[in-house]
Amino acid sequence: MLNKTSDSLFQLIKSLTKSEKKNFKLYATRNSSKTELRTVALFDVLEKMNEYDETLLLKKFSDLPKQQLYNIKTRLYRQVLLSLRLIKDEGNIDIQLHEQMDHARILYNKGLYLQSLKILDTLKGFAKNYGQLSYLQQALFFEKKIEGLHITRSIHNRADQLAAESDDVNERLSTISHLSNLSLQLYSRYIQNGHARNLKDEEEIKNFFAQALSQKKAHNDDFYENLYLYQSYCWYAFILQDFFLYYRYTQKWVNLFDSFPHMIEVESTHYLKGLHNLLESHFYLSNHRGLDETLQKLEDLCELDSIKNNENNLIQGFVYLTTARINKHFMQGTFTQGLKIVPGIMSQLQEYSLYMDSHRVLIFYYKIASLYFGSGDSETCIDYLQKIINWKTDLRIDLQCYARLLHLIAHYELGNDELLEYLSKSVYRLMGKMENLSVVEEEIFNFLKRAFHIPPRQLENEFRILLATLRQQKEVHKKTRAFTYLDIISWLESKIERTPVQDVIRRNYLEQVKHK
């Protein structure tokens, strides 16, 4: 498991670039008071730490009571943020709008009402252009305050105009809030449980989604309303494993940015996420050409300064590019070749350990384990699966269940019959408890339980029987969940043909390319 720390100040200092650290020193040492020097000394100690160590910190500042040291930490945290605020980010719309609002308030407090209104008018035009309705609402509220308290004679019928603008903004904000809530709730449901486990799950999601959508409708010309609407459909379809619907709305998500190109820099993270989900849809639909084209688009985007110079965008770019490249190896059957990128992935996971969420790390471990399994290295596959199995978390229950199932298959490959018999019982109970057992899993478990008791000469026939059963189940939409996590069909084909599983997948991929 990657190291995490709960100390916010340490995380903030470790996130700083060299230029940001230098800027902080200049800001913090602008005067030489005792308190300021203390904060700089504390900064130097924390900056040199590899991991946060409270005991060492107390030893370094033994002359300070613990509460006083806490106060200095709080002051240092604020100072670092203030120093970062002074480095103006011209591309950050939020900062620019916030600055304009500050200027309007300063002018108002000076009694320069008309100048304040002029700044607010500029702010409103800027906010409208970039769909920043919350800032527009603040500006309108401030305008109404000025007009209600002072005689400005700025525009005739100003009261009616401001009232109409306010009503329109409030209505749009209400719709955006509703749709963004829906998107977040669906995404949270997926992160917690993964895909729908059964018909009951599917019905619950369908009813919840239908009821939520009936309450609000997006305006055709509003960027954010459509963004959250498409995201909602995206998560809804993904939970149900309706990958055609998933593809349709991830494509709409990306196309939205093509229609509003000036929003790419403003909402880079949403655009990155949209491309990532579009790549995922191509992968699940085995659309190799679409995956290649979208991957190139993502690679080009990640070369832009707005991505490379923003730590958050840089990390998300790494996650999405790496995920797509691994998926490409899965699709093309080049598992051994894909192992070349694993050391780099693990290095970057460690580098970004302060920022990487557990969900992403779990997915990377599972994908890396699958690369090793596909290349024929079951032992290393088990090592990575153990990282998931031993990780005490309530995230992605489905992924944890299928990690255990792949774990069983890897032990079968290694001939660990006694261990397999013991593990299969506990995994079967776990998946039953978590409601992750469908006909597919049942068939796999039944095979594994009796596999070591089947004479070698009869194994091929047993593999053929299981393969025919699973192929039949794969045609049934409600039973496809297991195939999202395990290419069990290709594995069975490889056992029957007595050839590496990656060779089977590679052959099938080349045949698919040939016929398209």
261 in the same domain as 301: yes
Return the structure tokens found at 281.
């849809």
Q: How far apart are CA 152 and CA 144, in angstroms?
A: 11
Closest residue by Cα to residue 293 from 274, 269, 275, 267: 275
284 in the same domain as 213: no
Which pLDDT tens digits describe the chain residue by residue (516 residues)?
A: 444 456 889 988 988 888 889 888 888 887 666 666 788 889 999 998 888 888 888 888 887 777 788 888 999 999 998 888 877 565 678 888 988 999 999 998 988 988 999 999 999 999 998 989 999 999 999 998 888 887 666 666 778 888 898 999 998 899 999 999 999 999 998 887 778 877 888 999 999 999 998 876 666 678 999 999 999 999 999 999 899 999 999 999 999 999 999 999 889 999 999 999 999 999 999 899 999 999 999 999 999 888 888 888 999 999 999 999 999 999 999 999 999 999 999 999 988 887 888 888 989 999 999 999 999 999 999 999 999 888 876 656 777 778 888 898 899 889 887 787 778 777 777 777 766 667 777 788 778 777 777 887 888 888 898 888 888 877 765 445 556 667 888 898 999 999 999 999 999 889 888 776
135 in the same domain as 97: yes
Domain boundary among 86, 117, 136: 86
Question: For residue 472, is it within any domain?
Answer: no
Question: For residue 263, is it within any domain?
Answer: yes
Domain boundary among 29, 51, 86: 86
Question: For residue 25, is it within any domain?
Answer: yes
Question: For residue 453, is it within any domain?
Answer: no
Residue type at 426 in one-letter notation: S
How many Cβ atoms are within 10 Å of 154's Cβ, its own excluded?
15
Question: For residue 273, is it within any domain?
Answer: yes
How many structural domains does the chain have? 4
Question: For residue 305, is it within any domain?
Answer: yes
- pTM of the predicted protein model: 0.82
Question: For residue 342, is it within any domain?
Answer: no
Closest residue by Cα to residue 327 from 271, 368, 293: 368
Question: For residue 283, is it within any domain?
Answer: yes
306 in the same domain as 265: yes
57 in the same domain as 134: no
179 in the same domain as 143: no
Q: How far apart are CA 380 and CA 410, in angstroms?
A: 10
323 in the same domain as 270: yes
98 in the same domain as 79: no
How many residues are listed for the chain in this entry?
516
146 in the same domain as 159: no
Range of the domain at 37: 8-86
307 in the same domain as 317: yes
Q: How far apart are CA 39 and CA 45, in angstroms?
A: 10
* pLDDT score of 412: 87
Domain boundary among 332, 348, 369: 332
Question: Is residue 369 a contact partner of residue 384, using CB atoms and an 8 Å limit?
Answer: yes
160 in the same domain as 145: no
Q: How far apart are CA 434 and CA 83, in angstroms?
A: 49
